[in-house]
Each structure stands twice: as C-alpha cells, then as structure tokens.
Structure 1
Amino acid sequence: MEKFTSKITRAKCPAQLIYNRFESLEGLSSILHHEKIDHVEASRDECQIAVKGIGPIGVKVDAREPFKTLKYTSTNGKPIAFTVWLQLVEVSSQDTRIRLTLHADIPLVLRFMLKKKLQSGLDQAADQIASAFSF
C-alpha cells in the first residue's frame, strides 16, 4: 500500500468540535459534490456512495478515539482499497492541529499518474477542514 500524509494544518477551535462533525458518516452527503454523485446511503458507521463514472464506493468508520483519531476504511475495495486517518491534536481550546493520512492500494499502472493528485487532494482536504473550523 502507498502511504500519503497531508501537511499539518491548524483550526482555531477545540478538537471535540471537529471530531463530532466527522465521527458519523450521516452528514457526509452535505459536503459531497452532488453533480458527481448518483446516490448516497449513510448511517453513523457506514456509507455507500454511487459516483458517476466510477461506480459504488463504500466507506466505514473502522476506529474512533474520541477527540483524537478517526479511521475510515473502504468496504468493497473498489475502485481501490484504502484507509484514511483523521488525526487531531489539541494544543489549546483555540488551536487544534489536523493531519490526514491515506494508505491506498494503487495498481502499479496508475501509481505514477495518481501519486501527485492524491497528495495534493489530501493537502487540500486538510486545508479545507482547518478553514471550515476556524471562525
């Protein structure tokens, strides 16, 4: 599996606020780009997303460590098997550091094409989470 780690970003809020937003997959549909999505089915622990041109993608919450770590894992391994960790370190009540880590089983043929895009996407996601929680 290939490992990608985002840059560390900073949110101006307590870790609990970020953790509470991401610990349930039920709210995932509100942050997805609906023009690329055919269907979303979500519960607290699992989510099935039908993406146009790709097909179904399943994600489940694999582990929770309150206010510190969330681990998400693909459920069907398609288009690729992956695991994502959202790591939170609360420095103070108005300073939480955020890091995303992705382990992805990328086929050798696609590895070169996807490596930079996945790294860039992970960094952008970390930036977006930090800015969304910095009020």
Structure 2
Amino acid sequence: MGLNKYTSQVKEIGHNQQVVFNYLSNFENLSAYLNSGLIEKITEKVPQIKITDFESDQDSCKFNITGLGVAEIKIVNREPFKTIKVESSGGLPLSFTFWIQLLPVDGYKTKMRLTLHAEMSMMIKMMAGSKLEEGIDNLAETLSKLPYQ
C-alpha cells in the first residue's frame, strides 16, 4: 500500500467563509443535495461506480458502492471557518484522509481547495489513480456550486 496525494484546483465560492464552512461541515446538508439527483449524475458519468443506500448525520455518512462494499466517511476535525478534515472507514480496499481548506477573499467570497491522501495498493492506483486526479477537481467544482445558505 502506498500513499498518494491529489490536490484540486482552487475554486472560488460566492459566499462568506463562515457560511461555506457551516454548510460543508454538516453532512446532513450534503445528504439532501446528493439525494436530489447528484448520485444519479455520478453514476451516469462513471457507470462502473453505482452508489446506493446513502445515509448521513451531522458528522458522518455511509453508502454502498456496488462491487466494492460499504464506505463510511467521518468528519474527524473542524477548525472553524478554515479546515474540515474527513477520514474513511468501512470495507473499501483503500483508505483516505481528505481536507477541505477555506480562505476568505472578502466578505462575500471564499477560496476552496481540496486535498486527498489515499492509501491504496498499486493495482488500485493503476485502475483508479487518473480517475482520482480528475475526480478531485470535479468534486471541487461541484462543491463550489452548492446552494449555500
């Protein structure tokens, strides 16, 4: 197993840093968005990955990835308005730590960058490594367009 690092492009969000942090640091907010059609869009773009049985609470979410097993993701650290640290658990053949980093631009804009450290076997890296590079940017783009409230 080797550690691999993937970093997204910096995205700008048209909302205050505190609003963005409060929204992203509560998985219940993401649950409503995911269940409103995003899971189906992911499956359309990457048909070999089918996500089902999505559940969440404020600090964690759990879902099944067909062919891989149950994934569980937990928020393990919140540094108010700056960083959200997430770790995986569950039955997937890789483990990861994920950071959402937020920086204020001004009172109405926030810059966001995602960083993923994934521990995976060489075989999984060969199969999924390039998808993870592309996926981290796609996720950043998606998160930058969420309906922050």
Q: TM-score range by the shorter chain?
A: 0.7 to 0.9
Q: Any idea what SS the aligned residue of 2:120 has?
A: coil
Select 2:25's aligned residue among 23, 26, 32: 23
Name the CA distance, whole Å, in 1 between partners of 2:23 and 2:112: 14
Q: CA 1:112–1:37 in 2, change beyond 3 Å: closer, same or farther?
A: closer
| Normalised TM-score (structure 1) | 0.88
Structure 2 residues not aligned, in runs of 5+: 44-49
After TM superposition, the runs of 4+ consecutive aligned structure 1 residues lying more than 4 A away are none
Percent same amino acid at aligned positions?
34
Aligned amino acid, residue 64 of structure 1 = R
Q: Using the TM superposition, give the Cα deviation of residue 46 of structure 1 relative to its aligned residue in structure 2, in angstroms.
A: 1.9
Aligned to 2:46: none
Name the CA distance, whole Å, in 1 between partners of 2:106 and 2:63: 36
Question: Structure 1 stretch 59-68 or stretch 16-25: which is displaced more?
Answer: 16-25
Aligned to 2:76: 62
After superposition, the C-alpha distances for 1:58-107 in whole angstroms (9 at most, x for unaligned) are 11101001111000000226231001100000120122110000000121
* Corresponding position: 1:89 with 2:91: no
Name the CA distance, whole Å, in 2 between partners of 1:54 and 1:31: 23
Name the CA distance, whole Å, in 2 between partners of 1:92 and 1:51: 39
| Normalised TM-score (structure 2) | 0.80
